Amino acid sequence: MSNPNFVDYVKIWCRSGNGGAGSVHFYRTRLNPRGGPDGGDGGKGGDIILRGNRDMWTLLHLRYTKHLKAGDGKPGGRQLSTGASGGDVVIEVPLGTIARDADTEAVECEVTQHGEEVILLRGGRGGLGNDHFKSATHQTPRFAQPGEPGIEAWKILELKLLADVGLVGFPNAGKSTLLSVLTAAKPKIADYPFTTLQPNLGIVHYRDHRSFVMADIPGIIEGAHEGRGLGLRFLRHIERNSVLLFMIPVDTNHRISEEYRILLNELEQYNPELLDKTRVLALTKCDLADDELTRELKHELPDVPSVFISSFTRKGLIRLKDLLWRELNK
**Beta strands at 67-69 and 9-15: parallel, antiparallel or unpaired:** parallel
Quick one: 31 exposed, middle or buried, by C-beta within 10 A (0-12, 13-18, 19+)?
Answer: exposed
**CA distances, 193 to each of 148, 262, 270 (Å):** 55, 17, 22
Question: Taking Cα atoms as reference points, which of 8, 5, 4 lies closest to residue 237?
Answer: 8
pLDDT number for residue 74: 97
Per-residue pLDDT at 198? 63
- What pLDDT, on the 0 to 100 scale, is given for residue 219? 63
Q: Is 276 exposed, middle or buried (0-12, 13-18, 19+ CB in 10 A)?
A: exposed
H or E stretch covering 319? helix 317-328
**How many Cα neighbours within 13 Å face the side chain of 232?**
9
Distance CA 77, CA 145 (A): 13
Contact present, 175 and 231 (Cβ < 8 Å): no
CA distances, 262 to each of 97, 170, 182, 302 (Å): 29, 10, 26, 12
pLDDT of amino acid 296: 80
What pLDDT is recorded for position 229? Answer: 46
* Dihedral of the alpha carbons of 159, 163, 165, 170, in degrees to the nearest 10: -20
Q: What sign does the dihedral 267-273-277-279 (CA atoms) show?
A: positive
Alpha-carbon gap, residue 168 to 108, rounded angstroms: 28
Architecture of domain 1-159: Distorted Sandwich (2.70)
Extract the runs of DSSP E, i.e. beta strands, from the chain: 9-15, 48-52, 67-69, 89-93, 97-101, 107-111, 117-121, 152-159, 165-168, 200-205, 211-216, 243-249, 278-284, 306-308
In angstroms, the CA 292 to CA 294 distance is 5
Residue 189 is predicted with a pLDDT of 44
The C-alpha angle 322, 325, 327, rounded to 5 degrees, equals: 110
pLDDT for 65: 85
Architecture label for domain 165-328: 3-Layer(aba) Sandwich (3.40)
Q: What is residue 292's predicted lDDT score, i.e. its pLDDT? A: 77
Note the pTM of the prediction, 2 decimals. Answer: 0.69
Domain extents in the chain: 1-159, 165-328
Supply the pLDDT for residue 232.
Answer: 53
What is the chain's pLDDT, residue by residue, as a tens digit (330 residues)?
444 456 788 999 999 999 999 999 999 888 888 888 999 999 999 999 999 998 887 888 898 888 999 999 999 999 999 999 999 999 999 988 999 999 998 999 999 999 999 999 999 999 999 999 999 888 889 999 999 999 999 999 988 877 889 888 888 778 888 888 888 656 544 443 444 446 777 888 898 888 888 888 776 655 544 544 444 566 777 787 889 999 988 887 778 888 899 888 888 888 888 889 999 999 988 887 777 777 888 888 888 999 999 888 899 999 999 999 999 998
